[in-house]
Structure 1
């Protein structure tokens, strides 16, 4: 009997082994590829996959492969709801090609693919064992907050690095735009950090707060620090705007980062300018 005749081979159910927690809770602003922006984030393993024994030896590797789900992909949500609109789409319009040219879905890394699966290599900063559970602190992920993780494997340089590889329509990293910050937006950002610091110190005094899984994740998702401004600028420099709107001067766009909404626009000089930072 051929593979086509065996319906049991048409679907494979993979367990969710953890969830990714990150400063970015929305697709807009997220890097389109891994390692373009060195954002720090955390993978929270869930039972029974959070046992420390399952990760012995992983700390000897600098990078890991992460398999994950595009959980904000509307096609994936349609499939979960058994909607007809989840039918296979053979072609996509990559932003790298200006959002106009179509190519085959399997010639792209588009989120709109039959499996709704992503694959990223990220830096493993360190492994934390808190409350007997495993947290993987990583950097360079192109996943947003809440992303379900399907598998983790070590990155092996001698086989995973292919120097002679050709990269089709994406032979090099995308061009970065210059990003500036208005004095008003900078003052807003600094004030928010000061306010958070006062609030956090008061909470620590009241609760004698210690490191828990919940605390670590909350800090990753919400707590603002001065280095976050550099992260925000690096994300905006990737130009997350839709390709068809990239020539529009003074059109405001909003990127959500941790606990703030960051407004930015293209100005006459060709730079992207951050104009406001507002608490959510």
Structure 2
């Protein structure tokens, strides 16, 4: 059989406060991150979205645009999912790893609203990086897309979260950013939820006093682990361009 490839148009791009891969939730809907999909012409025609607000959730097909594109010579049959501690291997097709031959992601998100004046689709709960190319949008159909008896393999439940401590010093800096309109109170809550997911690589999730930095919008948030179940935000600074 010949090696067949397919080409898909990019219909738009995600605009998200998540500016780097580190810190992105490992699955959609773990954190209510607000994002916007900006559609390119001619896909931004408002008529293409007639009826979309009758649905509460949408499927987004998108591209892992910052990954090395796999080919037959570099295909990795197995990966180490973080959920299994980053050591145990499973087949790539038994995972939702970003490192896969098609380089395509699939996420279900909540629909906030569609703005016909701008052609923008506002969504909540995405796990997509700012600038992610979008390939398609489809409505989520509860009776067929939600299977109550489904077996979720090695991930039967949502991952446990850690406690996040924000010092008075950091709260003061957050308030400064709110005053400057760089962040909102809602952003602070989202940042706390993102860090509670513990975005560190599985092999780094140990008590070793190492500091990690997660970018959200135009700020860098520095945090470290202070005990087995606690992460502490110790600083927040404006990103230097």
TM-score normalised over the length of structure 1:
0.83
The residue number in structure 2 matching 1:254 is 213
Q: How far apart, in 2, do the equivalents of 1:136 and 1:54 lie?
A: 12
- Counterparts in 2 of 1:35-184, with a 5 A limit? 35-73=29-67, 75-76=68-69, 87-130=74-117, 133-184=118-169
Q: Deviations over 1:216-261 (max 9, x none)?
A: xxxxxxx410111110010001110111111133210000000100
Q: What is the RMSD of the two structures over their aligned residues, measured on CA atoms?
A: 1.4
Q: Displaced runs of 4+ in structure 1, greater than 3 A? A: none
User: In the alignment, which residue of structure 1 is the partner of 2:194?
Assistant: 235
Deviations 1:146-180 (A, max 9, x none): 00000000001111110010000000000000001
Tell me if structure 1 keeps the 8 A contact 2:14–2:130: yes
Q: CA deviation at 1:270?
A: 3.2
1:249, 1:268 within 8 Å by CA — same for their partners in 2? no
User: Do the aligned residues in 2 keep the contact of 1:38 with 1:139 (CA within 8 Å)?
Assistant: yes
* Alignment partner, residue 271 of structure 1: 230
* Structure showing greater Rg: 1
**Residue of structure 2 in register with 1:219 after alignment:** none
1:195 Cα deviation after fit = 2.3
Report the Cα offset of residue 103 of structure 1. 0.4
The SS at the match of 1:19 is: strand
What is the CA deviation profile of residues 166-218 of structure 1, one whole-angstrom value per residue up to 9, with x for unaligned ones?
0000000000000010111111111122123xxxxxxxxxxxxxxxxxxxxxx
Contact 2:206–2:228 (CA<8 Å) still a contact in 1? no
- Separation of aligned partners in 1, 2:155 and 2:228: 27
Structure 2: any 5+ residue segments left out of the alignment?
A: none
2:15 paired with 1:21: yes
* Separation in 2, partners of 1:174, 1:269: 15
Name the one with the larger helix percent: 1
Matches within 5 A, 1:189-208: 189-196=174-181
Query: What secondary structure, in the 3-state scheme, does the structure 1 residue paired with 2:227 have?
Result: coil
Task: Give 1:34 deviation, angstroms.
Answer: 0.5
Taking structure 1 as reference, are residues 114 and 269 closer, same or farther at Cα in structure 2, changes over 3 Å only?
Answer: closer
- 5+ unaligned residues in a row in structure 1: which ranges? 197-222
TM norm structure 2: 0.96
Does structure 2 retain, via aligned residues, the 8 Å contact 1:34–1:121?
A: yes
